Amino acid sequence: MSAAPLSSALALGGGGGGGGVSYSRDPPPAAQHPLLPSDHAAALIEQCRSTHNLLQLHAAVLRAGLHHHPIVNFKLQRAYSGLGLLDRSLSLLRLTPSPNIYFWTAAIHAHALQGLHGDALLLFSDMLSSSVEPNAFTFSSALKACPLRSGRALHGHSLKLSLHSDPYVATALLDMYARGGDVVSARSLFDALPERRLVSSTAMMTCYSKMGNLDQARKLFDEMGEKDSICWNTMIDGYTQHCQPNHALLLFRKMLRSSVKPNEVTVISVLSAIAQQGSAGVGRWVHSFIDNNPIEFNAKVGTALIDMYWKCGSLEDARAVFDSITDKDVVVWNSMIGGYAMHGYSREALELFSRLRAEGLQPTDITFIGVLNACSHSGLVEEGRELFRSMEKDYGIEPKIEHYGCIVDLLGRAGFVEEAFELVQGMKIPADPVIWGSLLAACRLHNNMALGEKIANFLVSKDLANSGTYILLSNIYAAVGNWEAVGRVRTLMKENGVEKEPGCTSIEVANKVHEFVVGDLSHPRSEEIYMMLEELNGLLRAHGYAPQTELVLHDLEEAAKERVLGVHSEKLAIAFGLISTQPGTTIKIAKNLRVCVDCHTATKLISRITKRKIIVRDRNRFHHFVDGSCSCGDYW
């Protein structure tokens, strides 16, 4: 290094609390000594907040011959770690003669903090090989990097050194078992704690949440005295991850009344819960909350908003958020592509894919799930085939089960059932029930009963059949009027304890969610709903609608089949929407199963007759009904 930087380094002054290091034209008296005093060097290093200044300080330390001074060396090691320069920090450790426990612990802690868990455990092993005995802080740092098996070994070692009862070690052990899903061991340690601190209680609550035991998690949460944001976020996210959005939102409202302020992690979990619930109104309120509070609108928050809006049926709002994000990463692009795909705007999804590549971003496996879904939802067979081929050839992405599922669904629904079946047979990974279900659905759609029976028998013989397998096989037989075979399948379902998932449709009106099942009479406004249905049926028939009774796969009289079709849950929800909202208002409903062909046909006509836009979210996608047509182009 030249003399100028060295002289500057020797003239460094203390930066106070500003987090920086200042330079002076005239060196302070202490720096005029040919050697930099060790205490002054250590203090300067501790105050250093930039890589450039730290490198200059390190040069000054070398010039002054302090590079083997234990305190100065330790401060340098920690400073490099704090700036993320772990390679330099580790080099200092290796160059230190006989490093003590503090050097080792600092290195282990830094690597664990950066998520370099394997490196942290190797350092712990090297330390033991150097005959340096760990202390409580070493154990607590190493345990942060431990999977369950290694953690148990460290637990045993802490018992030998009588460190297991130290509050830091005990909490770290509890956290390790909690992360590994060992509820029994975690609870045993938790009960043995002489004092339950917020960190240990949160770790135990996280363990229960992760395992789906939300009642126990909530019990611990309610028992805590003072709660921090981590505690609140853990419980809210637990409800969200286990598909209990209403509980998550209720807890969020309770958090707003507390002294703890929501942060970025909070709103991301809450937006995910709203996406599950489908309440765009609540989502807009949370969006406004983000704008009016000190929560940074970054790519993560923006992505959560995009997901929430399109899953609530508001594709326009999702696109507005997408356009407002200045520094888009590939995750943001993936979210918007996925939204267009699920809403049936396949060309828009493919256009965004082209723009993503033009921006120089590398597509991920999630990107290809989005574009392949887009092709599947619009029957873009050639585009889908080419995208599937390009994954591995052009981008080095090996297809996962989700990619195979998309291409099998695309080929099957487009009528290339045999090609789809051959693709499944040649897959590098075993097909899952979703793929087999797609094949069975394609067999039913294209009346390929022979292949459908072959697939179903294979699944039953391999114990891979689920309720959907039996339902699809039963429907294949019913479609051709083979009621004897239908009876055999239903008997088999009873013998195996398989139950059909009941159809359910929900609609949000005035921030309240209403749910309906087929033939529902439980709603307080049932009489008005059925009056509206009767009026709609008259108008539908006047517009040429005829109930598609062949879709009722039960051996019933024609009149009975018509009655069953007329009280499907989606029709009840639409009727309720018509009597509960102002004329011209968009009606949004969500169904847990695939919308049936008869309801799809009827909803198209209802949108024309009532001049209402109707958005239906079913298990597979969104349908936008406007003036007698659907965004899916009758391909779903």
Is 34 contained in some domain? no
For the chain, the average pLDDT equals: 87
**Two structure tokens written together for 278:** 């489908």
Of the spans 335-344, 498-507, 595-604, which averages the highest pLDDT? 335-344
pLDDT digits (tens, 9 = 90+) for 534-557: 999 999 999 998 876 655 555 556
For residue 393, what pLDDT is reported?
A: 94
Structural domain including 509 reads: 504-630
Handedness of CA 395, 398, 400, 404 (dihedral sign): positive
Give the chain's domain count.
1
User: What pLDDT is recorded for position 458?
Assistant: 83
Report whether pLDDT(32) > 60: no
Residue 559 domain flag = yes
Query: What is the Cα–Cα distance from 8 to 44, expressed in whole angstroms?
Result: 13
| In-domain check, residue 104 | no
pLDDT higher than threshold 60 for residue 628: yes
User: Residue 422 falls within a domain, yes or no?
Assistant: no
Q: Give 424-450 pLDDT, tens digit per residue.
A: 999 989 998 889 888 988 988 888 888
pLDDT at 488: 80
Q: Does any domain span residue 573?
A: yes
Burial of 623 (0-12, 13-18, 19+ CB in 10 A): buried
**19-35: average pLDDT:** 37
Per-residue pLDDT of 332-383, as tens digits, reads 999 999 999 999 899 999 999 999 999 999 999 999 999 999 999 889 999 9
So what's the pLDDT on residue 100? 93
Pairing, β 614-617 against β 587-591? parallel
Would you place residue 18 in the very low, low, confident or very high pLDDT band (cuts 50, 70, 90)? Answer: very low
pLDDT mean over 476-484: 75
Of the given ranges (260-269, 434-443, 568-577), which has the lowest mean pLDDT? 434-443
Cβ(113)–Cβ(84) under 8 Å? Answer: no
Residue 556: predicted pLDDT:
56
> Using CA of residue 567, residue 568, residue 571, residue 577, what is the dihedral sign?
positive
**Does 97 have pLDDT greater than 90?**
no
- Pairing of β 512-517 and β 587-591: unpaired
Q: pLDDT-derived band of residue 412, with 50, 70 and 90 as boundaries?
A: very high
Sequence-distant (≥ 6) Cβ neighbours of residue 376 within 8 angstroms: 384, 406, 407, 409, 410, 413
Pairwise CA distance, residues 301 & 309, whole Å: 12
Q: Which residue has the tokens 């990463």?
A: 329
